[in-house]
Structure 1
């Protein structure tokens, strides 16, 4: 092993000058810009030790962070350094924790009656915490369905929103400190819901509405260009009575009209659903993380004596860029005096999807003033001076100087050709200096594959090339001396923007014998134990469920021809039929039922145990039916939800993880993969139909109304105008790229396919792009086995986005018809008739359905088939109402309860997806698509769209 003598001021020996300044300056409000790898954790713990030596009592110091691992790491460092001077038990129990843990303890000890401050009767006593979003969505949907029945006055709003959109909005408002009370809104919440016209005009409208001055002509402003595109595609109930497009700018009058749109009903609706959801959570003794912080906040806000009792002489907050508004305000209420140290890095703010705001650190001084005014609105809660002192750490103890310089570029490149970038962004970046001299032991590379599979081959081949290669020697410091060693698998991390690419890559690596661990949990409900549970649950609900039988029979060892014959003839093995009946006896104890399934298949491993534990957690304090559990498992599969499972992993293995999962970590060699269009930067935009933004307040994108005698779902031009160019997450995509780059110590490699995304192209500027990479160590990914993928088996591998077929449909024409309940009853009746069940339904349409199904003269009828259509890297999921297998054709039937056919052009999209699925399975017979308008007793045969046309709909 080569050794190189080097005199170096290492982190383990002493702090640098700027760190020492922060450590020794314990009095005052300090905000520290601590860039990637600048030793902030060490500085924070050393500062804690300094304060502890001054005050002598750990209970006078509050240290907050965002992950349990970070809190535990800092606690252990403090115990190690201070355990010989202070009582270890007191240090173990010191207030060093996450925000959530701190608030949880506060509520348990002091917050029993905190709901009363919002006008809610009831108490919170050791509530179950809904940690997983997918659990809460299930919980909220049940609440929301009940809310709809009791509040018919909002029926027009129900027609244009989804329950998940409402839940997202509630959580966002909660993080901003906007809470409902029985009588109205907390503090100035209602005012905030209406936005700030002057601030919007100053920060957005005036900036984006400037004409673009070219060399020869003056062209339309960016705002007008964006709005014109939306206006042409939109369908509006009431267009503005002014000429919007006569000038190169949007007229001021249009801004006034749009901003002052009447939102009275909308705000009443949001108040009611928000308040009653909190009330429901209290009643059910279940809360989410956001409500946990909310209850702690209002407890401190209203209980002045408790606030004084629970405040601290010194407060420190790590990762301050990840705080939200309510957390910042809570910190101010927990301070006895002006002693705060907020440490963070705006360049690593990547959690906006969790409602964090980097404004808290970028505009720290301005926020201090605003929040103090809000908190002192009716009572002087903040009595101390709030003048802030700014410091920065600029010595990096992780990466080479080449990588550090390169990383700054990531914050200055566009994500699209029309992307707006702050022209002063470079001035806001603190330039970092590497503490290490890595000489020529650092490099940046760009590799380009032909397609997705070729890119994965290149990544794996590159890994094989790197391991034990003298060209990638790892430089480490031991006893103040540099040592060089050959790289191992564990020195390499592959970082991806999305989870799917990483999971695919791990699968390919395992097949090739390359040790690779996916760090980020496993898709538990795609494992065999979960799919078997799902199959049996489906059979409990419907003994003839094809998907259920196929999964079970395959597990029992039947081959595909046997399975096909059994399912088609309905002659199921007696021992399996008997087991279904046995399971039905356990319907009221589903956890016991799941246990019986595991025992039946002799499933006892980590995955099986994890499935039981997570289903058990779903049932805590909440009764769930079997159909709801089926829906829960299917949602987990569709959302690719991951769970941590305790399994043995290889010590010397490549780490594969998302960039979000890699934050705070470091590796000698980093490969940033899948830097391709739609993936990085991500093309996903604000999809929710009901939104909130500080500048424009509460808005809804669609409205329900009547025009020319018909009832429609219309776009709202007001929202289209105000949100044009408002919701751009590209700044966060750039910060995510910065985080990925700064995980690397010495070697950084980008991979993409075809031409790569604009990120790949811009970052590669000035570097050679290798598009014919052919490592001498041949790594050929073997062809996948030709397995018959029946459309009823959920064994696909998702590579891109998953769409519901209804995502392609844009309903424009509505009539009240006979209501949603009628439509559900119609489909349920048709389903049973197709199965041969003699069902009764007291509606004139009943006989029509019977006659229609009889007229098909089908050899086999298969109702309600869930199916998936892969297109490119995406997947479209849907449910076929009825598949009729006839002598010379396959008929695809979709029932409609509409009393007109005005939406038919949209329904064609739906049937087209089903057509291409069926053509892939039953290629020997022609497929025919039919819409049966039951209320009209009209059958319409339609011509399906091509695959290319469907793909264009997805991309659009």
Structure 2
């Protein structure tokens, strides 16, 4: 079977595992992602289950997208959308559909950390804070409170639980003061390792004792007041979220737990649906997430978890390593498969790493499962039988026989260390003829350590990418945009004006800018006043033209800023100034990097507009200022694959899941790696913690696992660097980890392995090396195609380049906002109908009668809540459209209120497979509605705009593709295709015959083959006047 041909025996066993729970212990580089993707594909291809009966959860959107792409590439069959997502996306999806049944709004907003901070600051007086609200800096502890509330939610601790804990704490204090010795004895117990439930809180009063271990009533009262303050703040915060129609990320899991526990019909629905559940990175789950999964397991217990306790590095995010250690206790009959064949690293690198991580014993799965003593082994819940498990050996075996290079770079100063690291990179690059810059990674413990390496790489003219997750607002391109916003908000903001005058699109010379500044200083003018008074100081004609160009742009947008949203001003600036055209005229890779940043900033702007009534530039700048005050710098989504080849600078956390030929772990000195343990500003009471806490130095064990992750990223070369002098008064000691590895002598810090290049001097790369830094002009073929992509390419390949390669942000359109509003309303309407039919089975009324109970007022309320307020040219036009939508929905309601269509699926995603000479291609789409009419299937697609009574073949193509998908997935013919024109509530029905479908397949495959060539020539036509990119396209037809 081709799907399984490249798997080793352990991987094959994991992929082909059919029923029952399974723990896959997957060491670094053993093909974990391959196993998960191939297992999903195997289950579907073998007909063991359907695509939407598999739930696969992971921790990042990128990992979920990669897994979905891998599965799609493996499957030769069409299928409906997979349930592959992050935990939070899964929770959001469930709550959007069923949250109403537990009193949640289905259109809730999801608050990020800044929005949480802003919510608390705005309502700070409602929290009644004393201990956590110092007079000189009242917002000091907001961030700490947010993190504390998040930790509570990781443990599924509700505000009610916390308030109950505070109340029982006071009761125990009262008992102690009244002389109850039993309570006092209990309070002084230091046992924090017993998990507790919500009903039986284990109250611990250790904090009531002073340094002499004597009970102190004043300390006790202050501590209880503090706990009560936090509990009350948590309660107020949660209520504020609900008052603002919002949830935070922790709520997505906890409300799902509440939903499933309080609405058994909903839980049963998903238990029946998900016949197979897979969890990636199981060691990174928190207590609440694991509880959610245990609820979803059906009687077959088809749960596969994949993880490695030695790579559990996200405790600061609430991850509970105890979950993977507890799995055998929760599922005593589970099978284990150990993946130890490593396809990444050389054996000596693996041996060094393995011997190092064993220092974390006994808090490792390998050690715990291998203990022979019944007291030490993990037993089942009843304690009557030992969990069935094989002898666990996690020593990784390299699948190549080469020996890797392990080297320590030990220098006198930080500057010497940096230069030596970069010199070593250059040396390896010259020596290894087949490697490229993507093969090198510099791993730092914290983002702050990266800056000095970045500066030196720039001086050495070496290409690099810094994988920081924050810093969008510090990118030069984004600073340009923000500066223009500030200029429009205040003409006399001279720093912003100066920034804009420096843009290459305006072509001012350095001398001209100096003269502007001199005149401004001489005349006591702002820089803007210097420009508008240009006639007074009589510039040259050429210079005056440039000045007038800037002033004309500012004047135009000054008029717009009074009535337009910040996103409209953003796009107007990029288009009208010529900045967007300038960026898109660069090499494709340079353009993609710039447009990627603009898209991320546009996403931030749209998030602001979605949550704000005032969508003006001024209001946006105020929120931006508030975000920066809160410590934010703009979330940055760095795509390491988007640009040309480059050295990667990453934190060790950011390098998780990646691999490189040569890895440099830098700054390995005491207190930098491992770091000093910093306790949380507001610690969660141990009595409330439900996970089982490990023994020993938890922080050191986490740092050791992090270091293990850093080492196991390396394929061929692993280099550790350090220095004695980092600028402080004292010399730095080497990291204890280097001593534990046996690479540094404890006595005199001499090296036990060679340091061959201590005396090399840093030089710029040689010409032959520099030539390889050139940008690779290659086109990345998408992993799937959509109907929209195919149409764009057919109309004009150059338009396809702008829209789908560069992904240039574009202005929205009124008709799109209106059409999307109606689509969302109808989706919510039919979801409500299905909810009433499916979840009130105990009701005396029939399903149809329950559906008929839906009123017109409910429909119009759904419409009101779904209204998209963007891109209307005037308030009057917006009001006209709103009334038009009310009329459309009123007619729709009256047409169907006594006989609602029986909908099988709403907004159903699909993946249809079409083969060409080179393999399978995936076409992805979403069907508005699939109805059951008798025993047959009908596909419905909503349309707004001018209704049509007759359709051309090209106009039918979209639904022909839908027909192909549905017939292949359902294995039964479609009875009817229908465009439903909402403007006049009419339908146009048709059906594709064999010749129609064959013609569409042929056309789609031909279009895809052209896209894959990576050539996108302009194709000017009458359609140019409707193109979103006409203003930046020099080939447009006039």
Counterpart of 2:261?
A: 301
Note the C-alpha offset of 1:501: 3.8
Cα deviation, residue 303, structure 1: 0.6
- Pairing 1:100–2:88 present: yes
CA distance in 1, matches of 2:170, 2:493: 48
For 2:435, the equivalent position in structure 1 comes to 487
Residue 179 (structure 1) aligned to one of 154, 158, 166: 158
Match of 1:143 in 2: 119
For the 8 Å contact 1:518–1:656, the answer to whether it is kept is: yes
Task: Confirm or deny that 1:778 pairs with 2:763.
Answer: yes
Match of 1:66 among 59, 70, 75: 59
Alignment counterpart, residue 363 of structure 1, candidates 316, 320, 326: 326
Q: Is the 8 A contact 1:410 1:737 kept in 2?
A: no
RMSD, matched Cα = 4.5
Q: Secondary structure at the match of 1:611?
A: helix
Are the aligned partners of 1:33 and 1:393 in contact in 2 as well (CA < 8 Å)?
yes
CA contact (8 A) 1:610 1:645 kept: no
1:542-596 deviations in whole A, cap 9, x for unaligned? 7766755665676675656963773586412427688599749836744445456
Deviation at 1:65, TM superposition (A): 1.7
Does the 8 A contact of 1:63 with 1:315 survive in 2? Answer: yes
Match of 2:900 in 1: none
Q: CA deviation at 1:393?
A: 2.6
Structure 2 residue aligned with 1:832:
none
**Are the counterparts in 1 of residues 441 and 650 from structure 2 also a CA contact under 8 Å?**
yes
Q: Which residue of 2 aligns with 1:692?
A: 684
Question: Given the superposition, is the C-alpha separation of residues 532 and 332 from structure 1 closer, same or farther in structure 2, using an over 3 Å criterion?
Answer: same
CA deviation after TM superposition for structure 1 residue 23, in Å = 4.1
Q: Partners of 2:17 and 2:166 in 1: how far apart?
A: 37
Other-structure match for 1:765: 744
Counterpart of 1:527 in structure 2 is 475
CA deviation vs aligned residue, 1:103-126 (integer Å, no higher than 9, x gap): 222122222343x2xxxxx5122x
State the alpha-carbon separation in 2 of the partners of residues 201 and 259 from structure 1: 18
Q: Give the Cα–Cα distance (whole angstroms) in 2 for the partners of residues 496 and 666 of structure 1.
A: 15
Per-residue CA shift, 1:376-429, capped at 9, x if unaligned? Answer: xxxxxxxxx76544443333222121111111344367xxxxxxx666769469
Deviates more, 1:547-556 or 1:169-178: 547-556
SS state at 2:435 partner: coil
2:209 and 2:219 in contact (8 A); partners too = no
Deviations 1:146-178 (A, max 9, x none): 4332354x3444238611111111111112111
SS at match of 1:775: coil
Residue equivalent to 1:807: none
Q: Is 1:571 the counterpart of 2:525 in the alignment? A: yes
Q: 2:394 aligns with which of 421, 431, 438?
A: 431
Q: Which one of 711, 722, 738 corresponds to residue 752 of structure 1?
A: 722
1:618 — aligned with what? 608
**2: CA distance between counterparts of 1:648 and 1:432?**
31
Report 1:452-851 matches (<5 A).
452-469=414-431, 486-502=434-450, 504-520=452-468, 523-535=471-483, 548=496, 551=499, 563=517, 566=520, 570-572=524-526, 573-574=528-529, 579=554, 583=558, 586=561, 589-595=565-571, 598=574, 602-604=578-580, 605=583, 606=595, 607-608=597-598, 610-623=600-613, 625=619, 628-632=622-626, 634-635=628-629, 639=632, 641-644=634-637, 650-683=643-676, 685-686=678-679, 688=681, 690-695=682-687, 729-754=699-724, 756-763=734-741, 764-765=743-744, 767-768=752-753, 770=755, 773-775=758-760, 778-779=763-764
Bigger proportion of residues as helix: 2
- Taking the aligned partners of 2:679 and 2:485, their CA distance within structure 1 comes to 35
1:870-949 correspondence to structure 2 within 5 Å: none
Write the distance in 2 (CA, Å) between the matches of 1:454 and 1:11: 51
Where does structure 2 lack aligned partners over 5 or more consecutive residues? Answer: 173-182, 195-205, 369-391, 533-550, 584-594, 725-731, 746-751, 767-1038
Q: 1:697 to 1:158 in 2, by over 3 A?
A: farther
- Alignment-derived partner of residue 392 in structure 1: 338
Task: Provide the residue aligned with 2:872 in structure 1.
Answer: none
Q: 1:355 to 1:628 in 2, by over 3 A?
A: farther
1:40 lines up with 2:18 in the alignment: no
CA 1:608–1:696 in structure 2 vs 1: closer, same or farther (change >3 Å)?
Answer: closer
1: CA distance, partners of 2:761 / 2:26: 42
Structure 1 position 747, deviation (Å): 1.3
Residues 387 and 622 of structure 1: CA distance in aligned 2, closer, same or farther (over 3 Å)? farther
| 1:292-371 → structure 2 map (5 Å cutoff) | 292-311=252-271, 312-337=274-299, 338-365=301-328, 368=330
Residue by residue over 1:344-395, the C-alpha shift from the partner in whole angstroms, topping out at 9 and shown as x without a partner, is 01111111222111111123345x3xxxxxxxxxxxxxxxx76544443333
The reply on whether 1:168 has 2:116 as its aligned counterpart is: no
Q: How many residues align?
A: 647
Q: CA deviation at 1:315?
A: 1.7
Match of 2:78 among 88, 94, 97: 88
Q: Alpha-carbon deviation of 1:454?
A: 2.6
Equivalent residues of 1:537, 1:626 under 8 A apart: no
1:619: Cα distance to partner? 2.8
Question: Following TM superposition, by how much is the alpha carbon of 1:527 offset from its aligned partner in structure 2, in angstroms?
Answer: 2.4
For 2:501 and 2:350, the matched residues in 1 are separated by 56
| Structure 2 CA distance for partners of 1:435 and 1:527, relative to 1, 3 Å | closer
CA shift, 1:535, in A, is 4.4
Structure 1 position 273 matched with structure 2 position 233 = yes
Q: Which residue in 1 is equivalent to 2:22?
A: 30
Equivalent residue of 1:97, what SS? Answer: strand
Q: Structure 1 stretches of 5 or more lacking a match? A: 1-9, 117-121, 207-237, 246-250, 369-384, 414-420, 471-484, 699-722, 782-956
Cα distance in 2 between the residues matched to 1:146 and 1:522: 24
Render the CA deviation track for 1:838-864: whole Å, top value 9, x for unaligned: xxxxxxxxxxxxxxxxxxxxxxxxxxx
> 1:106-121, aligned counterparts within 5 Å?
106-114=94-102, 116=103
1:189 and 1:54 mapped to 2: Cα distance? 54
Q: CA–CA distance in 2 between the matches of 1:205 and 1:259?
A: 25
1 CA distance for matches of 2:261 and 2:164?
11
The answer to whether the 8 Å contact 1:310/1:334 transfers is: yes
| Contact kept in structure 1, 2:441 and 2:660, CA below 8 Å | yes
Cα distance, 1:205 vs structure 2: 11
Counterpart contact for 2:311–2:705, Cα < 8 Å: yes
Closer, same or farther in 2 for the Cα pair 1:45/1:266, shift >3 Å? same
Say whether the 8 Å CA contact 1:449–1:771 is kept in structure 2.
Answer: no
- Displacement of 1:630 after TM fit? 4.3
Output aligned runs, 1:172-211, within 5 Å.
172-180=151-159, 201=189
Deviations 1:332-353 (A, max 9, x none): 1111123322110111111122
The normalised TM-score by structure 1 is 0.59
Cα distance change on mapping 1:448 and 1:491 into 2, 3 Å: same
More strand by share: 1
Asked if 1 retains the 8 angstrom alpha-carbon contact of 2:460 and 2:763, the reply is no
- Residue 4 of structure 1 aligns with which residue? none
* Displacement of 1:330: 0.6
Give the Cα separation in 2 of the matches to 1:163 and 1:457: 41
Structure 2 CA distance for aligned equivalents of residues 347 and 614 of structure 1: 36
1:398–1:434 CA contact under 8 A, matched in 2: no
Q: Is the 8 A contact 1:64 1:317 kept in 2?
A: yes
CA contact (8 A) 2:311 2:709 kept: yes
